[in-house]
Each structure stands twice: as C-alpha cells, then as structure tokens.
Chains A and B, each alone.
Chain A
Amino acid sequence: MNIYFTIIVGSVFVNNFVLSQFLGICPFLGVSKKTNTALGMGFAVIFVMSLASVFTYVVNEFVLIKLHLEYMQTIAFILIIAALVQSVEIVIKKFSPSLYSALGVYLPLITTNCAVLGVAILNIQKAYNLLQSFLNGLFAGVGFTLAIVLLAGIRERIHPKNVPESFRGFPITLIAAALLSMGFSAFSGMFGIS
C-alpha cells in the first residue's frame, strides 16, 4: 500500500498519539474545556509538530549522523523543540493575543510535551525521509487536534449535566477519555497498519 497513505491514516487514526500511544496527555486534559481553545491548542501542536519533524530530521541527518553523534538525539531534539515553541509563542503573542491568552500556560508546556519529542524520535526509528517525516508530524498533530477537540466537545456536553459529585471534573473526563480511546482502538489493524 502507498506509504504516504499509510502514514496519514496511521498517524491520525490507528496510532493516534493521544488515544493509542498515550503521549501528550497533559494538554489533552488541561486545554480541553472549551472547543475553541482546544482547537487553538491543536493548531499550535500541528504547527510545532510539523516544524519539529522537519528541523529534527535535518539536524539528525546532516549533523548528528555525519558526526556519529546519534546518541545525542534526545538532548538535541529537546533543544530544537524548545526553541521552536518559543518562536511560535513570540509570533502568536504578536499576531493573536486572544489565542495567546487562551492557550495560557499550555503553550510553553508544548516545549516539554512528550508527543512532540515522540514524533521526532519515531520519525528516526521508522527511518522516514524528509517528506515522510513532515507528513507524519503534520498528521500526528491533526490526530492530536482531532482527539482534543472530540474530548472538548464531550466535556462541554458533560459539564452542565448532573454528574455525581465524586465524579465531577477530572474523574468523569478521564472516563470519557477512556471511552474515546476504546473507540479509537477499533481502528487498530485497519489498513494493515499496526
């Protein structure tokens, strides 16, 4: 099967970063109270993930491998991601103050978001080329956005309902997330992707 199709469907549905790989749970729970902030966060993650995939690929291929420094992947990638997030923050602060205040503390948190580091490292592990890495990053971000927006939609509907007191807030959110994750597990094995 076409490898690009496999990457796209695989990273959005089958190996969804949040719901089947359990990466990036912090913003998944933290910024999913309202659909529009969730969407904003999702776009920030898409942006950072695709850029990070490209940058980490370039640095890995042309610097780390050339100098036989593959063991420095983690630290070099964290450096790259942190710098990227900072620049994204500066840009958003300038051009969309409302998105900036809506994202709040979660934007800097993308710096240490394991989903972003995860996508960079998975690209290397699966030996993707530049275009494939970029696509994987982009659609992993899309998968993250899909998951967080779905959860935000569920939370918006749960919130006004009469939830038993002990389940209010995060407990019921975690249950909803678990059901969502079970739903997504139906995709596993589809299209022969594992």
Chain B
Amino acid sequence: MLLMAKLYVAILIPALVLVVIAAIFACVLAFLGRKLEVKRDEKIVQVESLLSGANCGGCGFAGCSAFAEALANGKADLSACNATSKANKDKIAEILGTVNEGEEMSFVVCCNGGSACEDKYDYHGYGDCASMEMLAGGRKACPVGCMGAGTCVKHCDHHACEICEKGFASINDARCTLCGKCAKSCPKGLIRKIPARAKVFVACSNHAKGKEVRSYCKAGCIGCGMCQRVCPNGAITVVDNLAVIDYSKCTGCGACAVKCPSKCIKTR
C-alpha cells in the first residue's frame, strides 16, 4: 500500500511540476497575445475568403493567404490565380477597386497525335517526357508531339491529367482546378489555356508544311484551310500552316470540327 502511494507521488509530482510550468507560460503567452495583437487588414481577410483556398501555389505565392496579401498591396495581379471562379474574382476586384478583365479559362492539350504519330525511336529508360525531351527532342517524329509519358500526370495534384488510350494527354475539366502546373511542366508546352466557354479547339501545335506533317502524323493539322472556308463567322485563320481560332468570334457551331480532314479540330 505504502509502495503504491510512493509510486503515485513519484509520478504525480513531476506531472504537476510540468503542468504548473506550462500553465505559467500559457498565462504569459495569452497575456502577450492579447496585449500585442496585430490587427489584420480587413480587406485581406475578405479577399482570402473569396479565393478558392486550393493553396495550389499556381500563382507563385506561398498559398492563398500570401496571395491575398500581395493582391491587397497591389503586388500581384488577379489573373495569376487560375483556380478562383469568375464570380468570386469579380467580387475581389470590387473589394480591391480594380476591374477583373480575365475570363474563365480552361486547359486543353494541343496535340492529337499519340499513336497516330510515328515514333522516332524506342525509348527505354528511366523517366518521363522531360528526360525524353533531352534525348534528341523526344521520341515522337513530330517536334511538338505529345510523348505521352505523363510528366503532366505526375505534376497534377488533382488527378485531372491522364494519358488517354490513344497515347496523348488529356485533361479532365471536372477535376481541373486550373493551377497551371501541368502547363509549366510540359516540355513541349502543349497544354494551353482557352476560354472555358469554347466549344472547339485546335488539337495540334505543328507549324510545319502539310506534306511534312502528313509524313509522320495522321492526326496533325496540314494547314489545308478547310476550316477557314467552312467557318460561318470567319473565326478561323490558318497562320503559318496551323489553324488558329479567334474565340471572340467563334460561336461554337462545330462546322470546322466536322469538316477537318485530320480531325484535329476537336469539340469539347
């Protein structure tokens, strides 16, 4: 019995000492915290609550909180954030007294090649697109062809990038938070922004002449100009052997996608 009592004391006293020390410090800290409280700018708090809160780091700042601070201090531009919805961006712009000109965007992969595009060599070895790119500019015969080794998949934190069964990358809009990491990671720069309302996009990035493109890729833009001719709104022009869509004129009728001989104008 006595031994048990001694044991309890031997445990209780140290615990008590620690609790007392901790309590003293807690009081001091609470007092300091109250006394020296730093009021955060109301504007920053509001802006932060309107940002998406994804903390993806796509804007180049350390999270949404740091971005909100930079916005309030005029050190950042709202367009740097891809993840926040247009409605919220408008509200933020109102708070900051600026105008939000940005339109809601989404990302697309501008290549339709994959298995339709010939390989220059067989790649055996460690790595992804980035290491392939170092070896004679990638394994595809097309200098701007998606190599399908999944660097974008690896960089996407939201599982929105995938390599489809045809062998090129595609982006799942429902999952994409528009952080833009995939676009930065792609060594060919094939992942680009288009307006979210766009119904069609050109899934090829090759500026070479039609004959050359045909020699290695069945799905590449040959610059034939068919889309330019069928577009009722004059929204498409072929610039430097590649179709370019002017989204301010495009109504999304889809006539170009139907007529395109290589099927490289895709609907979404």
Question: Given A90-B33, A91-B32: A79 and B38 within 8 A (CB)?
Answer: no
Q: How many A-B residue pairs have CB under 8 A?
A: 42
User: Which stretch from B21-29, B140-148, B170-178 is at the chain A interface?
Assistant: B21-29
Which 6 residue pairs spanning A and B have beta carbons closest together?
A83-B25, A94-B36, A90-B32, A90-B36, A69-B14, A87-B32
B237 to chain A, nearest CB (A): 42
CA of A21 to CA of B189, assembled, Å? 48
User: A86 an interface residue at 8 Å Cβ cutoff?
Assistant: yes
**A and B contact pairs by CB, cutoff 8 A, 20 listed:** A63-B17, A63-B21, A67-B17, A69-B13, A69-B14, A72-B18, A76-B17, A76-B21, A79-B25, A80-B21, A83-B25, A83-B28, A83-B29, A87-B28, A87-B32, A90-B33, A91-B36, A93-B36, A94-B36, A94-B38
Q: Which of A79, A90, A91 has the most CB of B within 10 A?
A: A90
Chain A hits for B29, CB < 8 A: 83, 86-87, 90
What mask results when residues 157 to 169 of chain A are scored 1 for a CB within 8 Å of chain B, else 0? 0000000000000
Chain B hits for A67, CB < 8 A: 13-14, 17
Chain B hits for A76, CB < 8 A: 17-18, 21
User: A25 an interface residue at 8 Å Cβ cutoff?
Assistant: no
Residue of A nearest to B66 (CB): A101
CA of A76 to CA of B15, assembled, Å? 11
What mask results when residues 36 to 69 of chain B are scored 1 for a CB within 8 Å of chain A, else 0? 1010000000000000000000000000000000
What mask results when residues 42 to 86 of chain A are scored 1 for a CB within 8 Å of chain B, else 0? 000000000000000001000110010100100110011001001
CA of A63 to CA of B33, assembled, Å? 27
What mask results when residues 1 to 37 of chain B are scored 1 for a CB within 8 Å of chain A, else 0? 0000000000001100110011001101100110010
Chain B hits for A80, CB < 8 A: 21, 25
Find B38's partner among A69, A75, A93 (CB 8 Å cutoff). Answer: A93
A111 to chain B, nearest CB (A): 12
A117 to chain B, nearest CB (A): 16
CA of A139 to CA of B29, assembled, Å? 27
CA of A106 to CA of B80, assembled, Å? 27
Interface SS of B by simple majority: helix
Q: Is the CB of A79 within 8 A of B17?
A: no
CA of A93 to CA of B17, assembled, Å? 31
A116 to chain B, nearest CB (A): 15
CA of A107 to CA of B116, assembled, Å? 55
CA of A13 to CA of B76, assembled, Å? 44
A57 to chain B, nearest CB (A): 14
Chain B hits for A79, CB < 8 A: 18, 21-22, 25
CA of A83 to CA of B23, assembled, Å? 11
- Given A79-B22, A97-B38, 17 new contacts (CB under 8 A): A63-B17, A64-B17, A67-B17, A69-B13, A72-B18, A75-B18, A76-B17, A79-B18, A79-B25, A80-B21, A80-B25, A83-B25, A83-B29, A86-B29, A91-B36, A93-B36, A94-B36
Question: Given A83-B25, A86-B29, A87-B28: A69 and B36 within 8 A (CB)?
Answer: no
What mask results when residues 84 to 128 of chain A are scored 1 for a CB within 8 Å of chain B, else 0? 001100110110010000000000000000000000000000000
Task: Give residues 132-185 of A contacting B (CB, 8 Å).
Answer: none
CA of A67 to CA of B21, assembled, Å? 14
Chain B hits for A64, CB < 8 A: 17
B2 to chain A, nearest CB (A): 19
B90 to chain A, nearest CB (A): 29
Chain A hits for B26, CB < 8 A: 83
